[in-house]
Structure 1
Amino acid sequence: MIEESARPFRAELLDVYRLRFAETAAPRLTPEERLAMNEVWDAKVRDNPSYFDGPVLVCAGTRREGPDELAISWVRTTYRHFALRRVPFSTSWLPSFFVAVLQPADDGRLLVRRMSNSTAAPGRWQLPGGSLEPPEGDEPLDMRALHRHAARELIEETGIDASPDDLTFWNVIRAGNGGIGVLFRAPSLPEARLRERFTAMAEAERAQGREPELDNIFLIHSTAQLPLLMGPHADYLEPIVRRYAASAAERA
């Protein structure tokens, strides 16, 4: 059921309201792919020793099941798998499977964050969030697990402590490389609180001798402000901000 490929897509919101998840087997790598993947990964680790080959999920395919439901198949692997993206002849690479959180301020602006130089995407602006990790033990991968993961990503990256039950499923985004992101909306908070929590989180990380994953946050109200974000943007950011701003205008 591998429908996505390495060909580029235009990032788009899929407008689904129910999700179904199914684990599937990983594609078998050829010896040439495995060798090239390891060479690329080892080179990246030499350049940035903070890279960690931990467990991660990737998206093996999606299928519409009626107008409102999306079936997502997923594979257990490690972060090393993403090095296949840089292997030109690879036909076995799979795109990311991630969660992201829309965190509004009280005035309706949306929080975006910039990745620090120690990450895999230095300087890139995107929403708080990250790749999904495999469920532990016999726990299923379901919406409750995604709520928990989204809440954990939010506090780890921004210092904002939201209960999983406070996060509302918002939509699903397909990124330009075929990656699938499940989007949640957090409760609105005052701007001062957002900045206070981010600053406290960053200071706590540095006190432990670690560089924070994020080095800046910004609040935007429309796509017209995206050019103010100096540096690369996640390709999914523009359609999400456009839809968010349109929804906010309808509620006003």
Structure 2
Amino acid sequence: MTEDLKPEAATTGPVDVELLEPAGIRLLETPAPPLPETERAAMDRAWGQAVRSNPGLFDGPVVACTGLVQDGPDTLVVHWARIGYRRFALRLVPGATGRVSSLYVAVVQPADDGRILVGRMAGPTARPGRWGLPGGCVEPPPLSDPLDPPALRRHAARELVEETGVFTPPERLTRWLLVRGEHGSVGVLHLAPPRPARELAERHAELCAAHRSLGAEPEFDRIALIGSPAEAAALPGPHADHLGPVLRRLFAG
């Protein structure tokens, strides 16, 4: 899943996006932020309306980002909590104080010619029509397992293959940037090794065919290989808030 419910949940106008490049990160679990009882009914109503508009939404367990704290000169501590996905529906409730930020992973997948793979979310997804990098919200691990950088790499590798059909072993992904943007949500971006452009197109076409043979839609209904920020800006439709800033940093070297 992506980090918002639907396009109407996004703020209007440009969103300030912060790109962070710490040498290390630590993840620390915290209690879920309190949900005021006065807002619970409003959250449930907003969630019900969102599901009626998009029956593909699923109220499963998900991770909220509850804060970023600098720990020394080179390390960021990411505080996180276990919540249900419907908690994000409070973003649709004006004045709600129980809103939470999401924690997500994304993958920069280069082609062998230097272009970068981006995809458009399909109709049944949380943000239909939106262009972005392969990725999604982080799901909480079992209580006996840690949420740590290796777990984030595994999640990023799973999102990459689920959305593009491209399998990369998690240990071959390299953490690159942390992104903080809309709603205070934090993304952990990973770099994948380059693949031939033809292979990227073939893997996605095979994935789409497999989904549609089962009467389902792939998460990305279309992919594109982008060679510059200007090419990304020309893609029709909404874009993930981090897409432009990340591509500008990437293509600037």
* TM-score, with structure 1 as normaliser: 0.92
Which of residues 53, 61, 65 in structure 2 aligns to 1:55? 61
The superposition leaves residues 98-120 of structure 1 with CA deviations (integer Å, 9 ceiling, x where unpaired) of 00000000011010111111112
**CA contact under 8 A between 1:172 and 1:182: conserved in structure 2?**
yes
User: Equivalent residue of 2:128, what SS?
Assistant: coil
Q: In the alignment, which of 60, 71, 76 is matched to residue 70 of structure 1?
A: 76
Partner of 1:108: 114
- Whole-Å separation in 2 of the counterparts to 1:133 and 1:150: 11
* Deviation beyond 4 Å, 4+ runs, structure 1: none
C-alpha distance in structure 2 between counterparts of 1:228 and 1:95, whole Å? 29
1:147 to 2:153 alignment: yes
Shift of 1:66: 2.6
Residue 225 (structure 2) aligned to one of 205, 219, 223 = 219
Name the residue aligned to 1:99: 105
For 1:243 and 1:227, the matched residues in 2 are separated by 14
2:41 to 27, 32, 35: 35
**Contact 2:15/2:241 (8 A) holds in 1:** no
Contact kept in structure 2, 1:9 and 1:177, CA below 8 Å: no
Q: CA RMSD in A?
A: 1.5
Contact map agreement 2:34 2:98 (CA 8 A) in 1: yes
Deviations, residues 211-241 of structure 1 (Å, cap 9, x unaligned): 1111111111221212321001111111110
How many pairs are equivalent?
Answer: 242
Unaligned 5+ segments in structure 1 are 1-6, 248-252
User: Which AA in structure 2 matches 1:46?
Assistant: R
1:9 shift after superposition: 5.7
- Provide Cα deviations, 1:23-59, integer angstroms capped at 9, x if missing partner: 1111221222110000011111122222110110010
Distance 1:146 1:173 in 2: 14
Q: Which amino acid aligns with 1:225?
A: E
Q: Please state how far the C-alpha of 1:73 moved relative to its aligned partner.
A: 0.5
Contact kept, 8 Å, 2:233 with 2:244, in 1: the verdict is: no
TM-score (norm 2): 0.92
